Structure 1
């Protein structure tokens, strides 16, 4: 019987192929941390605009918000105390699924961000890509089944949008730009009004809040116009397109400098 000990030994001694410089560059690029800068602000504002479009369609269609959970929280309280208003002023099931999935998505994304790194390029790209797919899926449900205020189709659309929104709002914290929450406007209005330097020429936090509020209002107007003219399915598709652009931008966003580079004198 022939032995293969020599062949096995040579196979063990054969070194595995090392990554090519191109592969190494791709991996390094994807594992870099995104630098919070003007480009990141534009991405968050684009996401805010897309959020405004979504809420402008879910309120008239389903009597709830997909992103603004302040309103949903109050509606949920009303639904528990005044159930006879269900279906006219709000839909309790829709509000419950929106609030619950929003909080769940925010919790999962936030906790994983602590482990992975909140500003890792590949992580931000992946999160935004999944969110984009969820919004397009919601638009597809509306195109196929239409809109009904209650029922499985309504819960599907609201659930998909709430999952996307809950994951999305984590990004303003990840990028250290809490002035652009991408969804909730109340804190931005208050912080803007009480800013002691509201009229100062150089005031970045003030400028971010103003830009955020303008983007949210503009998204609301655009969403309402599209809803009136061609329907909510198209409005959600436009919102998804905006999120897709923001997703692609993460591939080209400026990275933070390495510690070694920062230490060079």
Structure 2
């Protein structure tokens, strides 16, 4: 009977240590909980979130500037006038050296028709192969540049800079060939020089159309002379198209005179290299042209 009572006492007395252990562990957990000050200090020591990169914004500004559409302003007129001067330099040396024009295709077209009807004049008045190369490369460059301009944007700043850099590289290559090998009236080197110069000129003439300044073609003078003479507002003070034509014709004359002077003093290769350097200057100037702001259409509700 005593054993039964003792066993029952043990049965009811055994949970007491367990409850004591549970309460002790809860007390320890409460003792180890961080205070509000400790929580604040812990939050202050956390690694700060990385700041967003600021280079993306500046990159977008540069890219937007390079791909902007250039406005046909006074600076654009000055750039076309400079290109006209350098074109005059090229034609002033291409005809004495190769009996053809690198840029002015009116004369080349007439000479080519003469070559078809009067082939005996080949070598005396003109070189048929040179004329054909000049006209062919000029037309090819005009077609290629014009069609790509429709896709890229005719007044896209980066496109105009790229075109001028390519043109300058072509002109420099032609000048380098002449500087190293001299001037050959006929043959593969003559075709190479003529082709490089004519291709650069064909691409250049497209720019006057792209910038909506047809009065400054940078190459052909016949239309400018005629349009100037028949202008009904020829003597009007405020006549921008008339003024553009006059300045263009003067620039072409100045370029031809400079080309002839350089040709006579230091040679045609130097004149061609000067023309290539001028194209690079214009390419750099395109960085500073004003651009057209995108039109914001008003939304109607």
TM-score, with length taken from structure 1: 0.91
Query: In the alignment, does 2:293 pair up with 1:257?
Result: yes
2:87 paired residue among 42, 51, 57: 51
After superposing on structure 2, the runs of 4+ consecutive aligned residues of structure 1 that deviate more than 6 Å are none
Structure 2 Cα separation of the partners of residues 42 and 87 of structure 1: 39
**Equivalent residue in structure 1 for 2:261, among 225, 230, 250:** 225
**Please, which moves more after superposition, 70-79 or 239-248?**
239-248
**Secondary structure of 2:82's partner?**
helix
Is 1:138 paired with 2:167?
Answer: no
2:143 equivalent among 80, 98, 107: 107
* Stretches of structure 1 lacking an aligned partner (at least 5 in a row): 1-16
Distance 2:160 2:85 in 1: 18
Following superposition, the deviation at residue 188 of structure 1 comes to 0.1
Which position in structure 1 is the counterpart of 2:65?
A: 29
1:176-208 deviations in Å (ceiling 9; x for gaps): 000000000000000000001111110000000
Matches within 5 A, 1:83-232: 83-232=119-268
User: Cα RMSD (Å) of the superposition?
Assistant: 1.7
SS at match of 1:32: coil
Residues 79-125 of structure 1: CA distance to partner in whole angstroms, max 9, x if unpaired? 11111111111000000011001001000100111111100000001
CA distance in 2, matches of 1:240, 1:208: 24
Question: Which structure has the larger Rg over C-alpha atoms?
Answer: 2
**Number of residue equivalences:** 248
- Looking at structure 2, the residues matched to 228 and 262 of structure 1 have their Cα atoms a distance apart, in angstroms, of 62
What's the offset of the Cα at 1:26? 1.1
* Higher RCO structure (Cα 8 Å, ≥6 apart): 1
Secondary structure in structure 1 of the residue aligned to 2:77:
helix
Shift of 1:241: 1.3
Counterparts of 2:285 and 2:107 in 1: how far apart (Å)? 31
C-alpha separation between the residues in 2 aligned to 1:132 and 1:112?
A: 19
Distance 1:178 1:262, change over 3 A: farther
What is the CA distance between 1:258 and its match in structure 2? 2.0
Match status 1:78 vs 2:78: no
Counterparts of 2:282 and 2:150, CA distance in 1: 22
Report the TM-score when normalising by structure 2: 0.80
Q: Which runs of 5+ in 2 are unaligned?
A: 1-52
SS class of match (2:192): helix
